[in-house]
Structures are given as structure tokens and as C-alpha cells.
Amino acid sequence: MARRLTHELTYDAPLADVYAMLADPAFREEVCDFQRVIRHTVTVVPQGAGMKVTIDQYQAAAGIPSFAKKFVGDEINIVQTETWSSDTNADIHVAIPGKPGDMTGTLRLRESGGVTTETVDLTIKVGIPLVGGKIEGLISDLLLKALKAENKVGHDYLSR
């Protein structure tokens, strides 16, 4: 079984400014800090016509249901990799190393009238019998919260 998450983030800025923001390690670190990540490493490397972004972060497992906490422990290592083939399209892969499951999908930037929309489309799969669906729902909720945090930090970043 799998769960799909699609979410749009909008920015009152041209596409070039949003892409530059997403390519700025300082922005990615600011998003981690806003989410109170315990520790993180951000790397952004030019790659062809795009870039490769890797965010390796550890988040506290506080507040997650007990059925999920026994699988992840006290902290959750999340590795997000974005492979941008251009300034408008990326493949995304989110993994929880050592745990059964992953999230894969796409990121798309589109500009209309000076407003840029980032569309995130992910498929979440957790291969654990009986509770996999519950964990997929939990991960979907956590990812949605993270995307909303990124959007808020992005608005602040672009207004400076």
C-alpha cells in the first residue's frame, strides 16, 4: 500500500528568485532551524543544467505515537535528496536510513504573473505489515507540516 501527498507552495516572486532560494544552503539551513531539527547537514552541488540538494537531518521523535516510536527510536534520521534537471523540475527522494520505506516523487516550479508555485508530489511507502498504513499517514502529516514550514521561511527569505 502507499499514500500520495501533493502540496503547492506559492511565492510572490519570479521563478528565478525561488530557484535561487532553493539553491541557497543558508535557506535550507534556516528551514531546518525553524523546524527545530536536532542536527543537520545541507549540501548543494551544481549538476548539469540543475543541481543536487541533500539535506541529512535528525529530528526528535517526541510527540509521535508509541506504535511508530518503537520503529524509529528517540530520533529520526531523514535524508532528502533533490535532483534538479533544470530550474523548473526535480526528482525527490526522502529516506529514513535503516527503516523500511521511502518517499519518492517530483518538485515542479511554475511562474504565472510574477507568482511562482512549487508543486510537491510524493508517494509514501512503508513496508511494515499491519501498521504500515498508519505510519504512512503519520509521515504524510509530518511532511505536510515540513512543507508548510518551508513555505513560511521562504516567504520571509524572499521578503528580505
**Quick one: cell of 143?**
511532511
Looking at residue 6, what is its pLDDT? 97
The total number of structural domains in the chain stands at 1
What is the chain's pLDDT, residue by residue, as a tens digit (160 residues)? 799 999 999 999 999 999 999 999 999 999 999 999 999 999 999 999 999 999 999 988 777 777 676 666 778 889 999 999 999 999 999 998 988 888 999 999 999 999 999 999 999 998 877 777 888 888 888 889 999 999 999 999 999 9
Strand residues in 23-141 grouped as ranges (E): 39-47, 50-60, 75-84, 89-95, 102-112, 115-125
Give the full edge-to-edge strand order of the sheet including 102-112: 3-11, 115-125, 102-112, 89-95, 75-84, 50-60, 39-47
**Quick one: cell of 79?**
535524508
pTM: 0.92
Domain ranges, residue 94 = 3-159
Q: Give the CATH number for residue 15.
A: 3.30.530.20
Q: Which helix (H) or strand (E) holds 65?
A: none
